[in-house]
Amino acid sequence: MKLNLVGVDLSKSVFQLSIADPNYRIVSRKRLSRTQFRRWLSTSEASHLVMEACGTSHYWGRVAEELGHQVSLLHPKYVKPYVRRNKTDAADADALVRAGQDTDLIPVPIKTEDHQALQSLHRIRERWKSSRVASLNEARGLLAEFGLVLPKNVTSTRLREAAEQSPALLQPTLNALIDEINALQGRLDNVNQILENTAAQDDNCQRLLTIAGIGVITATAAIARVPNIHNFPRGKSFASWLGLTCRESSSGNTRRLGAITKKGDCYLRTLLIHGARSALLAAKRKAKSKRHLTYLQRWALKTEQRIGHNKATVALANKMARIMWAVWTRNDSFNGDHACRFST
């Protein structure tokens, strides 16, 4: 049975609906409050709801599915070309109806509450980390004005000692700033412990941790941001989604490949590149001490010699993304020597 298509423009308090019949003709429009929208979901017949993947969309997607509706979340950038003339709530809802007819648009998977909670932990952790770095830099900058120059990795004890040498007028406030830095560090330690406990209880996280350059932060971030890895048909698709493949500008018989696209999830891509940089440096240390290198490490070092350190780091991150896909989809571990078999 073909369901009615309903475009839903979400908001905090006002929900605009464009209801189309099975032939995709818009037959009615509704403007509902939050309570009215929930009541409409529970009383209307089963429909195919199309929403933008934005704030609260995963929550409403779960609610609608529990009430028997089919839900598709579309990336806002894919919906924008379907907006005609002026941007209004009604025009956005109509655009969602038109976008919902495009079978080439791949919906965003609806996250479970656990996935959203894990992603929220990462977001809070990043904000606290940024606040700690900003406060620490401010303290170091203020002390430098009085000739007290401290390194970037200064300890809390050394920071206290330097504060005692600053002018008496500044010391109480500077000590309060140091207390704030210590408090933020304590919060970060607590979140890190929660993430470690989560990773220890998740089989997929344990498999991802077998890949060099991937730690608890990257593994749990991947689990949170990729609800279903099987949505990607191959490793290249996963790497492309992360923005780790080359930007292409080709025409006719001329093919031009540039820098990476940097599309997709910026946070996860950043973690992978940092992890690749760490793995590459570890491989260089092993090579210098004449220890055994895995196939992946030998490949990374050869790539660095050919194209340079930074490009080799990104190339290794691309390789790691493909290996992640293979390990994740095949429920297997990775020992560093199966790069050719896994990185499909």
Name the residue type at position 43.
T
DSSP letters spanning 98-144: HHHT-TTSPPBPPPPHHHHHHHHHHHHHHHHHHHHHHHHHHHHHHHH
Question: What does the alpha-carbon distance between residue 276 and residue 71 come to, in Å, rounded to a whole number?
Answer: 37
**64 and 142 both lie in a single domain:** no
**329 and 218 both lie in a single domain:** yes
Domains identified in the chain, total number: 3
**223 and 289 both lie in a single domain:** yes
Instruction: Spell out the residues 6+ positions from residue 208 whose beta carbon is closer than 8 angstroms to its own.
Output: 214, 218, 219, 222, 223, 324, 327, 328
**58 and 24 both lie in a single domain:** yes
pTM of the full structure? 0.88
292 within some domain? yes
**85 and 160 both lie in a single domain:** no
Question: What does the alpha-carbon distance between residue 98 and residue 307 come to, in Å, rounded to a whole number?
Answer: 45
296 within some domain? yes
Phi and psi for 216 in degrees, rounded to 5?
Answer: -60, -45
**121 and 24 both lie in a single domain:** no
Domain limits for position 316: 207-342
Write down the pLDDT at residue 251.
81
79 with 51: CB under 8 angstroms?
A: no
Both tokens of 48, joined, read 């195919």
46 within some domain? yes
302 within some domain? yes
**236 and 305 both lie in a single domain:** yes
* The domain boundary residue, chosen from 100, 134, 162: 100
Nearest to 247 by CA among 265, 260, 237, 236: 260
Per residue of the chain (344 residues), give pLDDT as tens: 577 899 999 998 999 999 998 888 999 999 999 999 999 999 999 999 999 999 999 999 999 999 999 999 999 999 999 998 888 999 999 999 999 999 899 999 999 999 999 999 999 999 999 999 999 999 999 999 999 999 988 999 999 999 999 999 999 999 999 999 999 999 999 999 999 999 999 999 999 999 999 999 999 999 999 988 999 999 999 999 999 988 888 888 888 888 888 888 899 999 999 999 999 999 999 999 999 999 999 999 999 999 999 999 999 999 999 999 999 999 888 887 764 454 44
**319 and 239 both lie in a single domain:** yes
150 with 172: CB under 8 angstroms?
A: no
30 within some domain? yes
Question: What does the alpha-carbon distance between residue 324 and residue 211 come to, in Å, rounded to a whole number?
Answer: 8
Write down the pLDDT at residue 247.
86
* The domain boundary residue, chosen from 154, 171, 201: 201
**333 and 266 both lie in a single domain:** yes
216 within some domain? yes
**Helices 266-288 and 295-307 sit at what angle, rounded to 10 degrees?**
100
**126 and 182 both lie in a single domain:** yes
Nearest to 195 by CA among 128, 244, 263: 128
**275 and 154 both lie in a single domain:** no
49 within some domain? yes
182 with 267: CB under 8 angstroms?
A: no
DSSP letters spanning 210-222: TSTT--HHHHHHH
190 with 212: CB under 8 angstroms?
A: no
Bridge-partner residues for 108, per DSSP?
A: 73
Give long-range contacts, CB 8 A cutoff, 24+ apart: 188-197. Answer: 188/125, 188/128, 188/129, 188/132, 191/121, 191/124, 191/125, 191/128, 192/125, 192/216, 192/217, 194/121, 195/121, 195/125, 195/220
**79 and 18 both lie in a single domain:** yes
Phi and psi for 246 in degrees, rounded to 5?
Answer: -70, 140
CATH number of the domain to which 80 belongs: 3.30.420.140
* The domain boundary residue, chosen from 171, 201, 231: 201
108 within some domain? no
Q: Which residue matches tokens 């933020």? A: 184
